[in-house]
Chain A
């Protein structure tokens, strides 16, 4: 699996170097590549079955990269690469007139790679990394039209919400990971009972679900998804059908064996799912823009998936997996169609559209079939899905009536939405004549065409899907399962009559809306009432107040005065050290006087005197010279205690500093007296407190019994292994060479920083 990801990375990097014809055909090249991956993964899975690869990552934390291909990831990777290929073909049509397409294609390719990374991950930390990658990349994709403020805002909102959810999820993963002491999904499954019995289960589950809900746009985090419509249509088509928002559902499937099957799982998921399902379709029905309708129906579909996972029966999970495929097919189709209509007529508003069935017969047929699938009518695959969903909802062990009622209600509305969608674009008489500016070319039609035909074929011959593919995925969710067979015709049973009722009621609702425009009017009024509380506004407010609070905090903490930074560092350090001294009552020092001689005492006195003098000197040159004296004094002390290297370094650094001062000296203003006596007293006090504590610390350090084996090791081995008699140097360049390397790099960065700080802006040169 890792090779697939590496290939995607290499491809997206090489896109940078595409020139000429290759650049023109970039989308097609990527499409071919994605199709190749599709074939490769299919070949791998159908030949070998489940595959697992793992590589060491951080062995100290017991982390390794685990990639696996099983039933679930097979379905998802087929959707990602398959629909991905079609989306790239389509993008060739849609993005033709735009600039900056190279970064766009790079992001989109990387995005598909990140999605594949999620579905292949067998380790949750690794999955989290890919999960966040999709958030960041989708941000970059949504801001493609970054000159539009709406696009920027929407992208920011999406990023913020998904990242916030991602963080919550990471917390949940770590909590539950701490129960089983592993982040491997396999280990979680093995220890499912331990996880569910632990007291961390509820907290961990809720945190992980927050992550899933934000990504999958579940209530109350649903509001970022319609905003994400600002992205170019190929992106929407990809994000809504096979990727991004489906990642949450994927994780639900993955974690079901380890976290599912509890009351908490049931209540949280089915509540959130049911609400999301209903509000999605409820707000879809009166939207006036094509893409916006589609976005809300996606929210509805995501709610259905979550609800089905929450119901948590064998039947419902089966229905969910089937519905995932159905939805991917029709949603990708409808988005591509929406893009084609937008490009051909120059408008996305229903009010300006109508009667297009004669001008664009092919597009009309695609839309008709796709909306049939969305409404759940035969002979499309959607019909099977809806039947299964109803069957699952009828057979819920508890609370079935409520879920069934809300399910039927939202399906009625969904039928109405589907009918209205086709009607408003293709059948209704337009208010003004709709001008066709350009006919879609073959690239624009391949994608929707293939998906619709597949949806039809699978609808007519459902065994093709049900035979192995769905069964394999189910076997990864449930330990014991009975193989399913999908049929188009189930006979006259309860489910059939429910379906019939839904369809008829849906058509009636659609008819009412078409015939009586007043209904729409009052309905909109009513919606405005209940929409007084808008999630987007709450979000914007929350962000604004967050920014203003942190601005206030910055005024206190990040004031920008160097002296106060130093002050607070010194004070805090002293307080901590002093309290430690008091705590341990370590006052007695064993000062070993044997090595101290009269000479060194003189040096020490001179050094101390020099530093005291430096305080009182009021001439710059004198101050520098005196500071130099104390610096050289310290060097002499080093030398006396036979730290020759240290002494030489100290002397040299001291020299450089003195020279530096001399050079700078001429350019400085006069020695000004800026501080009054109060400040001086304060500084003196702090200096005394800090100085004493550092002195005590240094004395204390000699007392600590350090491990002499280290010392022995270095003195023994420096000549034998390092071939050097100077132990210090051998340690620096050999034993601990990497540390030195790091230090030099840090120094270099500091020097670069100095040069940046001191270089004047060019404009100000007078």
Chain B
């Protein structure tokens, strides 16, 4: 399959999808979105790329294998458990840092966000793994 139009449009659309996926990931705590949805979106971006070229090319272009995505994701998720273990709280008890950005806006960063990022990466890896393997 060699579709020139798709190949031409693929790059901006892919980056758009990735940006959207990151937005979805970050807004997840307050609005629809989150690590799982974000991960699926980012996975779709790469799936889209493989539609434009073919799977083998994309697989070679990727710097990280699907396995590494999964591994990194699970590792990040596991790291988010560490504060609760070290702090002696119940497992997965969330820890938060509040940053006063402006007078009215407080940015809250916490372990659930790290956990969600971990989910994000693992889901990307899982989607890629399915696509890459099924197309063999």
A723 interface neighbour in B50, B96, B119, B122, Cβ under 8 Å: B96
Residues of A within 8 A of B28 (CB): 726, 729, 733
Q: How far apart are B25's CB and chain A's nearest CB, in angstroms?
A: 10
Contact indicator B136/A760 (Cβ below 8 Å): yes
Query: Chain A: interface secondary structure?
Result: helix
Interface centre among B36, B50, B132 (most CB of A within 10 A): B36
- Some 10 contacts from A to B, beta carbons below 8 A apart, are A644-B32, A660-B130, A664-B134, A724-B29, A724-B30, A726-B30, A726-B31, A737-B115, A741-B77, A748-B122
Contact indicator per residue, chain B 44-76, by CB within 8 Å of chain A (1) or not (0): 100110110001000000000011001001100
Tell whether A645 pairs with B37 under 8 Å between CB atoms, given A656-B43, A754-B134. Answer: yes
Q: B41 on the interface (CB 8 Å rule)?
A: yes
Selected contact of A725 from candidates B31, B73, B125, B135, CB within 8 Å: B31
A residues 638-678 in Cβ contact with B at 8 Å: 644-645, 648-649, 652-653, 655-656, 659-660, 662-664, 666-667
B21-37 interface mask toward A, CB cutoff 8 Å, 1 = contact, 0 = none? 00000001111111111
CB distance from A725 to the nearest CB of B (A): 4
Among A660, A729, A744, A748, which residue has its beta carbon within 8 angstroms of that of B34? A729
**Please, how many angstroms separate the alpha-carbon atoms of A737 and B28 in the complex?**
14
B40 and chain A: residue at smallest CB distance: A652
A553 to chain B, nearest CB (A): 33
Question: Quick check: B37 and A649 within 8 Å, CB to CB?
Answer: yes
Q: With a CB–CB cut-off of 8 A, which chain B residues contact A745? A: 74
Do the beta carbons of B77 and A744 come within 8 Å of each other? yes
> Is B92 among interface residues, defined by CB-CB distance under 8 A?
yes
Q: Please state if B129 and A755 are interface contacts (CB–CB under 8 Å).
A: yes
Q: Does B94 contact A (CB under 8 A)?
A: yes
Across-interface contacts of B127 in A (CB, < 8 A): 656
B70 near A748: Cβ-Cβ < 8 Å: yes
Q: Which of B50, B115, B131, B133 contacts A733 (CB 8 A)?
A: B115
Task: Provide the bound-state CA to CA distance between A648 and B66, in Å.
Answer: 23
B108 at the interface (CB under 8 A from A): yes
- A723 vs B112: C-alpha distance when bound (angstroms): 10
Contact status A738-B44, CB under 8 Å:
no
Binary contact track A720-757/B, C-beta < 8 Å → 1, others 0:
01111110111011100110110011011011101100
Inter-chain contacts of B77 with A (CB < 8 A): 741, 744
A751/B66 contact (C-beta < 8 A), A662-B51, A663-B55 known = yes
Q: Residue among B29, B51, B96, B131 with the most chain A CB within 10 A?
A: B29
Complex formed: what's the CA distance from A730 to B36 in Å?
13
The answer to whether the Cβ of B116 comes within 8 Å of any Cβ in the partner chain is yes
Q: Given A744-B122, A747-B122, A751-B66, verify A660-B134 contact (CB < 8 Å).
A: yes
Chain A min CB distance to B15 (Å): 18
Residue B101, interface by CB 8 Å: no
- Closest CB of chain A to B120's CB: distance in Å? 10
Q: Which of B48, B50, B96, B136 lies at the interface centre, i.e. has the most chain A CB atoms within 10 A of its CB?
A: B136
- A723, A733, A737, A745 — most chain B CB neighbours (10 Å): A733
Q: Decide if A733 touches B126 in the complex (CB within 8 Å).
A: no
Query: What's the tally of chain A residues with a CB closer than 8 Å to chain B?
Result: 43
Residues of B within 8 A of A744 (CB): 73-74, 77, 118-119, 122-123
A708 at the interface (CB under 8 A from B): no
Residue of B nearest to A645 (CB): B32
- How many residue pairs between the two chains, A and B, have CB atoms under 8 Å in the bound complex? 140
Q: Complex: how many Å from CA A649 to CA B130?
A: 17
Q: Is the CB of B130 within 8 A of A754?
A: yes
Q: Are B119 and A740 in contact (CB under 8 A)?
A: yes
Encoded as 1 (CB less than 8 Å from any A CB) or 0, chain B from 104 to 124 comes to 000010101101101100110
Within 8 A of B (CB), among A544-561: none
**Distance in angstroms between the alpha carbons of A729 and B44 in the assembled complex:** 21
Is B5 among interface residues, defined by CB-CB distance under 8 A? no
| Pairwise interchain contact B126-A748, C-beta atoms closer than 8 A | yes
A760 to B136, CA, bound (A): 9
- List chain B residues, Cβ under 8 A from A766: none
- Apart from A726-B29, A733-B35, what are 9 other A-B pairs with CB-CB below 8 Å? A652-B44, A659-B48, A662-B51, A734-B112, A738-B91, A740-B119, A741-B77, A748-B125, A751-B70
Q: Cβ of A759 < 8 Å from any Cβ of B?
A: yes
Interface membership of A758, Cβ < 8 A: yes
| Contact of A733 with B74 in the complex, beta carbons under 8 Å | no
Q: How far is the CB of A603 from chain B (nearest CB, A)?
A: 19
- CB pair A725–B43 under 8 Å, yes or no, is no
* B99 adjacent to chain A (CB < 8 Å): no
Q: With a CB–CB cut-off of 8 A, which chain A residues contact B91?
A: 738
Does B1 lie at the interface of the complex (its beta carbon under 8 Å from any beta carbon of A)?
yes
The 5 A-B residue pairs whose C-beta atoms are closest, nearest first, are A724-B29, A652-B40, A751-B129, A644-B32, A725-B30
**Inter-chain contact A664/B135, CB cutoff 8 Å:** yes
Q: State A542–B134 Cα separation when bound (angstroms).
A: 45
A730: which B residues are within 8 A, CB to CB?
A: 29, 112
- Knowing A649-B40, A755-B129 are in contact, say whether A723-B74 is a contact too (CB < 8 A): no
- The complex places the Cα of A714 from the Cα of B123 at a distance, in Å, of 25
* B123: A residues at CB distance < 8 A: 744, 747
Nearest A-chain residue to B1, judged by Cβ = A666
A648 to chain B, nearest CB (A): 5
Among B40, B66, B96: residue with most chain A CB under 10 A: B40
CB distance from B73 to the nearest CB of A (A): 7
A644 CA / B31 CA spacing, docked (Å) = 9
Which single member of A662, A722, A725, A728 contacts B112 (CB below 8 Å)?
A722
Partner of B32, one of A664, A722, A726: A726
Smallest Cβ distance from A761 to chain B, in angstroms?
A: 13
Which A residue sits closest to B73, measured CB to CB? Answer: A744
Q: Mark A686-726, 1 if CB is under 8 A from B, else 0.
A: 00000000000000000000000000000000000111111
B55 to chain A, nearest CB (A): 6
Q: How far is the CB of A497 from chain B (nearest CB, A)?
A: 72
Can you name the residue of chain A whose Cβ is closest to the Cβ of B134?
Answer: A664
Note all chain B residues with C-beta closer than 8 A to A754.
129-130, 133-134
